[in-house]
């Protein structure tokens, strides 16, 4: 079983993120879900990103690092959209990472000053018809990591919404979300 640190998306620490964490816990994993927005939640991605911008993306990353500081090093880092930023940074730069799972986003590893660790297992999950993932560089960053790493996978789902796997969001795709969860659970079992 794994110790997992889950970072929420731009809507904040919502019930959809809590439900994801509860599923992992029900499968025997230990899950920590820090609140990078200090209790705030938002109705739209734009509102959440505006809050992150106002707070400072550097501060959001620092909150993620503080959340990890009292946890063991051999974590699996999970990030949803905006939460991929602290998850990816920690996976790449904090010693001892066991694996990483990114939903809806991925950034070029150079953003954090180091290449993706070649032996660090990774899964990236995105929607084929999500313009944010497909047209803003995320899928390209994911493909580059997958090509360079020994154990990395990119999964594209026939879904439209950015938050396709979040049951609390309008665009939720139950078939894609179920398949993604099955893949995440299988990934956690083997790493």
Place of tokens 């909150």: 63
- What distances in angstroms separate CA 10 from CA 27, 29, 37, one per listed residue? 26, 24, 9
Residue 178 has what pLDDT? 98
Place of tokens 């920690």: 90
What pLDDT tens digit does each residue of the chain (191 aa) get? 999 999 999 999 999 999 999 999 999 999 999 999 999 999 999 999 999 999 999 999 999 999 999 999 999 999 999 999 999 999 999 999 999 999 999 999 999 999 999 999 999 999 999 999 999 999 999 999 999 999 999 999 999 999 999 999 999 999 999 999 999 999 999 99
Residue 61 has what pLDDT? 97
Q: Is residue 115 classed as helix, strand or coil in its secondary structure?
A: coil
Element (H, E) at 157: strand 152-157
- What distances in angstroms separate CA 164 from CA 5, 67, 86, 100, 142, one per listed residue? 21, 26, 21, 19, 18
Task: List all residues 6 or more positions away from 56 whose beta carbon is below 8 Å from its beta carbon.
Answer: none
Element (H, E) at 75: strand 75-80
Structure token pair of residue 54: 């106002």
Q: Is residue 136 classed as helix, strand or coil in its secondary structure?
A: coil
Beta strands 3-7 and 99-103, pairing class: unpaired
Sheet with 30-32, side-by-side order of all strands: 30-32, 3-7, 75-80, 99-103, 122-127, 152-157
Q: What gap in Å lies between CA 24 and CA 20, rounded to an integer?
A: 7
As a CATH number, domain 3-190 is 3.40.50.1820
């Amino acid at each position: 079983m794994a110790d997992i640190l889950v970072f929420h998306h731009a809507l904040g620490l919502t019930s959809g993120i809590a439900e994801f964490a509860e599923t992992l816990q029900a499968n025997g994993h230990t899950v920590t879900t820090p609140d990078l927005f200090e209790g705030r939640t938002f109705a739209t991605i734009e509102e959440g990103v505006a809050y992150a911008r106002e707070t400072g993306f550097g501060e959001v990353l620092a909150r993620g690092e503080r959340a990890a500081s009292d946890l063991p090093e051999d974590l699996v880092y999970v990030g949803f959209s905006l939460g991929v930023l602290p998850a990816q940074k920690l996976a790449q730069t904090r010693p001892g990472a066991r694996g990483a799972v990114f939903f809806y986003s991925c950034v070029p590893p150079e953003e954090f000053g180091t290449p993706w660790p070649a032996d660090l297992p990774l899964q990236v999950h995105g929607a084929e018809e999500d313009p944010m993932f497909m047209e803003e560089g995320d899928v390209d960053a994911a493909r580059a990591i997958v090509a360079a790493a020994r154990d990395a996978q990119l999964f594209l789902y026939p879904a439209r919404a950015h938050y396709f796997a979040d049951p609390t969001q309008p665009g939720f795709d139950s078939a894609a979300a179920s398949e993604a969860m099955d893949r995440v659970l299988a990934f956690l079992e083997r790493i």
